[in-house]
A and B are shown apart, each in its own frame.
Chain A
Amino acid sequence: MSIELSQREEIITQIDELDGLPAAASELVNKINDPEISIQDLVASIELDAALTANVLKWANSPAFGGIHEIGTIRDAAVRLGLQQMRQLITASLALPIISQAVPGYDLNAGRLLERSTVVAMGSIEIAKFLEIRIPEYTFTAGLLHDVGKIILGRFVGTACNMLIEEAQKDGIPFNKAEQNVLGIDHAEAGALLLSSWNFPATIVDVVRWHHEPDLYEGDYHTPLDIVHITELAATCCGLGVGIDGVNYAPSSMVLHRLNISQRQFEHCMLILADIGNQTKALFNAA
């Protein structure tokens, strides 16, 4: 079932036509993902951009980053948080204007996608710790941007909303499959295409692309993909940033097996996310 054959092409064209990240932001993405970068270099890059500085300070002073004493400058933030958290902070700040917008096609008011994205980003780190699994730093970024494709598809879901809901209500059809059937592309693929066009590293793009279908990923074993998959599932169960897609996504039995996660551990993961959701509530409401 499809609205018209060119729907997929139309969506991909829109991704290509979207304004890319500003040049300075693109450069920062490269710096964040450069393992050799120094914290001084990062600080200098942020201080060149007043809007980014404001967003970084907003995040730095939020409970999401453990802010107790007010951080007034980027240099203070760097000293207080260190290189790893500064990378996360900058990524979050770059993403803030994009993921804090409303996505009416998915019935997500302003701030709800941000809520979900933040909880999955921070939750991925905490859940990996809880499960005693080592993950690379970029898992935070992958978690933060996992649903960015909804912003693209949201523009099309509006006109196809009823068809999409109808398709997704058929027995056994997960919402991402319904997106594929109705729109010719799902939000995971749309997000991956968007991030590729912004020159994000393939490791992050792969997590975004396969977060609902990790079993179809053909590369080497990818711990961040498993962690983001299970974290998003737990966030959905908690009801954090859930829209018209509801809980209609298939959990991967392969991921559950690889992570060896018990029912009790999964429910503890939900408690971890609920705590993060509470800590960051003020940030979402202010976004």
Chain B
Amino acid sequence: MEHLVGISEYKLTNSDQDIMVTYSVSSCLGVTLFDPVNNIGGLLHSMLPSSKLDPQRAKTHPGIFTDSGVTKLIEMMVDLGADASKLVAKVAGAAKPEGNNLVTEISSRHYQALNQVLDENQIPLVAADIGGTASRNVYLYMEDGKTLVSRAGKQSVLN
């Protein structure tokens, strides 16, 4: 079954039949977390890097921000039976136009926020497809934990 993850949303599953997908990851991040031992996976589409922008909103809608979204997703995956020490992360997105501007700042801080929260939870970031100017679609295939990224009509597996 295919599960659509909207902007600022996250979803998780333990069914190896499932495919998780999120579309139009532009300067946002699409983050997949997968525990291959317990076969539990999650996908987050975070819009902004840091919950410090609006801590109240982060409490009710943690998926908006990379830091609170990843933290919440890890928490829920562990509740579902995942072993935090087995989790691996992959990421795609953080597109940005040329030059230094408001958008490039968001893209850079997204990546920093992700690395920080993964470091805190000792989760390795094993693959990344970030930057460039293209919007991406991100897929997580639960049967083998494969993360697939498509952009500008071309698909590639994140390894």
Contacts and interface: CB of A to CB of B under 8 A. Distances in A.
Interface residues of B, number: 32
B134 interface: yes
A248 B47 contact: no
Interface residues of A, number: 37
B143 to A, nearest CB: 27
A63 interface: no
Interface stretch (B20-28, B31-39, B69-77): B20-28
A246 B47 contact: no
Given A247-B96, A250-B98, A267-B106, A242 B48 contact: no
Contact of A240 (B24, B48, B57, B102): B24
Given A246-B26, A274-B7, A274-B47, A263 B102 contact: yes
A171 B98 contact: yes
Given A247-B26, A247-B103, A268 B53 contact: yes
A165 B135 CA distance: 12
Contacts of A12: none
Contact of A247 (B48, B57, B95, B153): B95
Contacts of A174: 97-98
B149 interface: no
Interface in A126-168: 161, 165, 168
Contacts of A240: 7, 24
B57 A271 contact: yes
A237 B103 contact: yes
A239 B152 CA distance: 14
Given A246-B135, A264-B53, A239 B103 contact: no
Given A267-B53, A271-B48, A239 B7 contact: yes
A268 B28 CA distance: 15
A247 B8 contact: no
Contacts, number: 100
A228 B48 CA distance: 21
A174 to B, nearest CB: 7
A219 interface: no
A241 B53 CA distance: 24
Contacts of A172: 98
Interface string A253-287: 10010000101101110110010010000000000
Nearest to A261: B102
Interface in A167-215: 168-169, 171-172, 174-175
A274 B102 contact: no
Interface string A213-239: 000000000000000000001001111
A96 B120 CA distance: 48
A126 to B, nearest CB: 16
A249 interface: yes
Interface in A70-125: 107
A238 B47 contact: yes
Nearest to A233: B103
Nearest to B27: A237
A243 to B, nearest CB: 7
B102 A233 contact: yes
| List of 6 A-B pairs having minimum Cβ-Cβ separation, nearest first | A248-B133, A239-B24, A246-B134, A239-B26, A246-B135, A237-B27
Given A236-B26, A239-B24, A268-B54, 8 more contacts: A174-B97, A237-B27, A237-B103, A239-B47, A247-B135, A250-B98, A271-B53, A277-B7
8 contacts: A237-B106, A239-B27, A241-B24, A242-B24, A244-B135, A246-B152, A247-B96, A268-B54
Interface of B: 7-8, 23-28, 45, 47-48, 53-54, 57, 64, 95-99, 101-103, 105-106, 132-135, 151-153
